[in-house]
Structure 1
Amino acid sequence: MKPAQGHWEHFNPVRVVAGAGTLAQLPRLLPESGSILLVTTPGFTRRGVTGRVLELLGHAAGRQVVVSDSITPNPELDDLDAMAHGHASLAPCAVVALGGGSAIDAGKVLAAILGSPEPRPLHRTFREGATARWNRHIPMVAVPTTAGTGSEATPFATVWDPRTHRKYSVSGESVYPHAAILDPELTLDLGEDHTLFPALDTVSHALESLWNVHATPMSEALALQALRLSVDNLPRVLADGGDLPARAGMQQASYLAGQAISTTRTALAHSISYPLTLHHGMPHGLACSFTLPALLRKFGPRLGTDGERQALLQRVGALLGQLRLHDKVSRFATAEQVLARLPQMFTPERAGNFLFEADVESLLRESLEARG
């Protein structure tokens, strides 16, 4: 596959502050006065991280911080509409999202719909077909505490709707965060699953942007560097969760892969994943990565003849094989249950980005076998 040689574009307006201890830089990224909505999860409040952020932000006179810490994995449409309605009178001058991809997506969505004249803007847009009108005026700062989704670098956020068993995307340039803080110290306490599954999402983003009809020279460069960082650092963080440089490397990989899919969007592996998360609760990072070894075996050799690139792809395939993803899939769904979701796995706006033609049923069967 050759990158686009003619017209191509790259745009990413997110200001990034990265490095150990950079959470302390959060106040300077925000207005000195006014109301700030801090979006996070109950776990971060219990562990005291929310309190640390409140302490950081509490020194500016005239600044009010309101905490919304009810975010759950895979934020749901009705919950987000209700949160926006509940905070309508706050009129925040900024939103801060602290947490993994779900918290950051929730923060991006809330920044986009707060102040909407519609009482239930997501319901109106996605269930009733109203024209999407996302707010461009509330800056949002992403503080990821996992390394995987790259949501801090993308112009879209995922909204899940269990009522209709569908997944929607709030997207557009107005959905980009204003800024992001990549502080690897915030990832040091992650357990194995919360380290591995988001990291698999990073690898999936990078590969999905390579075998993509929208690939550009810039997206390819970003994706390849994300893969290099992943194969170098993921084994290290799995072996030693306290390896701070490796944690930082995985945060960088996540951010770079996020930039790559900002241009290309994702492709077939993500299309396959959505019904598995919706119906079986399979973590997104696992659901969008267990097919990658089979995809790499079949299509990796067609992603260019450059020897260095092919060697990197082989390293990625070997790492994924060692992780025995098919065993992890069986924790959430049997092979029969996965195959039964086949009719729901073709999402045109994702599967249609895939550069090659694939037999999805054969791909699934191979991915669920013991060869990895």
Structure 2
Amino acid sequence: MDAADVRRSTVLLDSPRTMVGVQAAEVATEVVTAAAGTTTPRVIVIAGSGFAVRSWSEPLLAALRAFPLRLVIQSGLPTPESVAELARQVRAHRADVVVTVGGGSVMDAGKAAAALSITRDPTPESVVRACAEEAHAEGVPPVIALPTTPGTGAEATPFATIWHRDEGRKLSLRGSALLPLTAVLDPDLLIGLPEAHFVSCLLDTLAQGLEGAWSIRADEQSEWLGATAWALSAELLDRPHDDLGSTERHAALLAGHLAGRAIAIAGTTVCHAMSYSLTLRHGLSHGHACGLTLGSVLRYNALVDDDCTDPRGAPRVRGAITRVVQAAGTDSVEALARKIDELARSPALPPAPDIRHDATRIATEALAYDRAGNNPRRVDVAALTRLLAGTAERDYAR
């Protein structure tokens, strides 16, 4: 997809909630005052651990210092403990606006902290309890999301992932309170992103694009969003990722946002369900964990027939997959699956662990997540164990 195609996609995306291709520092004051409805809002910035060393961080902070400002750093995956602490800080600052600047983990932590800041005394236990309910937006300070990675789509979704390590389980906080009021997609915020992070996030985009298209909850819009995310990403698959120009960064960031919007409608499926154990038990980054099984699940779902779980039937699922294959510029499911497998084996990523001995446990745990129920072809422990073992065998056959 060339620069003109990227611009056309940007026009199609344009909405009051999304600003695309702008300089974050230049629009920060305008966006914050609009969100708060006042010219003197109290602002808390929740940023990732690498924030201070990025070239764009100081101009952004300089713009936000027009307001009473607090900067808080969120390191690592969001946990009940870290989210409770962030919620207490949002509450203590009496923040009118929460600005999240970072990748998916940072945005999820910031969204969850804003949603739970209206709790009188946020604790890890109250965070866990909130994940069993729906978080409503009334009284919650608005969130402005500035993604610095091109793949999670957290700036476009009404949920946040929280990792409960004590229980060995991924939790999800959901509801209208989790949807950012404004997303600012500034390609320059990707400058300085390590190649490993870029590749992992690209795999997350690809997974969300396909899952948003084939999910049993997919509709015409999520199918279009997923296929368009793939069209924007296609040229990024076959090139080095350590020195991308502005057009490529723009395409990657927009693709991740579109894929996030796709799963906001359709939900994710069994790739994400399997990824949670791969992250918790084997330490893989989220995108790498999703991408590791994506090629295998693509091959599996493309053969859906009488075992279809979508009431609209197997032809709908196969049609959605065909549209993504075409958007990606490939001529077959197998060609697309091989591209995914190659990216998941990128030398920029750490070597994948040998999961053959753990396949049955991963499969069992995956089926406990509701995401697995969105898959358009029936899955059980035996089927997922075979998929995981086949993925590992391809990795170690090279």
Q: TM-score, normalised by structure 2?
A: 0.82
Q: Is the 8 A contact 2:24 2:186 kept in 1?
A: yes
Q: Is the 8 A contact 1:159 1:168 kept in 2?
A: yes
For the structure 1 residues 125 and 21, does the alpha-carbon distance in structure 2 shift closer, same or farther, using more than 3 Å as the test? closer
Q: Distance between the aligned counterparts of 2:196 and 2:81, measured in 1?
A: 28
Q: Does the residue aligned with 2:212 lie in a helix, a strand or coil? A: helix
Equivalent residues in 2 for 1:26-45 (5 A)?
Answer: 26-31=28-33, 32-45=39-52
Q: Distance between the aligned counterparts of 1:191 and 1:284, measured in 2?
A: 15
The answer to whether structure 1 residue 184 and structure 2 residue 184 are counterparts is no
Q: Is the 8 A contact 1:231 1:319 kept in 2?
A: no
Equivalent residues in 2 for 1:7-86 (5 A)?
Answer: 15-19=17-21, 21-31=23-33, 32-47=39-54, 49-58=56-65, 60=66, 63-69=67-73, 71-86=74-89
Q: Distance between the aligned counterparts of 1:27 and 1:318, measured in 2?
A: 45
User: What are the superposed Cα offsets for residues 200-235 of structure 1, whole Å, 9 maximum, x if unpaired?
Assistant: 001101111122110101111111101111112343
1:366 aligned partner = 390
Q: Is the 8 A contact 1:290 1:329 kept in 2?
A: no
Q: Distance between the aligned counterparts of 1:168 and 1:309, measured in 2?
A: 29
Deviation, structure 1 residue 133: 4.5
For the structure 1 residues 97 and 324, does the alpha-carbon distance in structure 2 shift closer, same or farther, using more than 3 Å as the test? closer
Letter of the 1:53 counterpart = L
Q: Distance between the aligned counterparts of 1:14 and 1:171, measured in 2?
A: 22
Q: Does the residue aligned with 2:291 lie in a helix, a strand or coil? A: coil
For the structure 1 residues 13 and 239, does the alpha-carbon distance in structure 2 shift closer, same or farther, using more than 3 Å as the test? closer
User: What are the superposed Cα offsets for residues 35-63 of structure 1, whole Å, 9 maximum, x if unpaired?
Assistant: 101000221124454432210112x3xx2
Q: Is the 8 A contact 1:30 1:94 kept in 2?
A: yes
Q: Distance between the aligned counterparts of 2:150 and 2:198, measured in 1?
A: 7
Letter of the 2:337 counterpart = G
The answer to whether structure 1 residue 304 and structure 2 residue 306 are counterparts is no
For the structure 1 residues 133 and 250, does the alpha-carbon distance in structure 2 shift closer, same or farther, using more than 3 Å as the test? closer
Q: Distance between the aligned counterparts of 2:53 and 2:149, measured in 1?
A: 17
1:6 aligned partner = none
The answer to whether structure 1 residue 319 and structure 2 residue 339 are counterparts is yes
Letter of the 1:284 counterpart = H
Q: Distance between the aligned counterparts of 2:218 and 2:132, measured in 1?
A: 31
Q: Does the residue aligned with 1:68 lie in a helix, a strand or coil? A: strand
Unaligned runs of 5+ in 1: 1-11
For the structure 1 residues 26 and 14, does the alpha-carbon distance in structure 2 shift closer, same or farther, using more than 3 Å as the test? same
| Greater mean alpha carbon deviation, residues 28-37 or residues 251-260 | 28-37
Q: Distance between the aligned counterparts of 1:128 and 1:142, measured in 2?
A: 22
Equivalent residues in 2 for 1:212-227 (5 A)?
Answer: 212-227=215-230
Q: Distance between the aligned counterparts of 2:366 and 2:231, measured in 1?
A: 29
1:164 aligned partner = 167
| Greater mean alpha carbon deviation, residues 147-156 or residues 135-144 | 135-144
Identity of aligned residues (%): 29
Equivalent residues in 2 for 1:323-338 (5 A)?
Answer: 323-325=343-345, 330-332=351-353, 334-338=355-359
Q: Distance between the aligned counterparts of 1:13 and 1:123, measured in 2?
A: 37
What is the number of residues matched between the two proteins? 355
Q: TM-score, normalised by structure 1?
A: 0.87
Q: Is the 8 A contact 1:36 1:93 kept in 2?
A: yes
Q: CA RMSD in A?
A: 2.6
2:6 aligned partner = none
Q: Does the residue aligned with 2:268 lie in a helix, a strand or coil? A: coil
For the structure 1 residues 322 and 39, does the alpha-carbon distance in structure 2 shift closer, same or farther, using more than 3 Å as the test? same
Equivalent residues in 2 for 1:201-350 (5 A)?
Answer: 201-236=204-239, 238-239=240-241, 241-300=243-302, 303-305=317-319, 309-311=324-326, 312=328, 314=332, 316-325=336-345, 330-332=351-353, 334-350=355-371
Q: Is the 8 A contact 2:98 2:142 kept in 1?
A: yes
| Greater mean alpha carbon deviation, residues 335-344 or residues 49-58 | 335-344
Q: Distance between the aligned counterparts of 2:356 and 2:225, measured in 1?
A: 34
Equivalent residues in 2 for 1:139-178 (5 A)?
Answer: 139-178=142-181
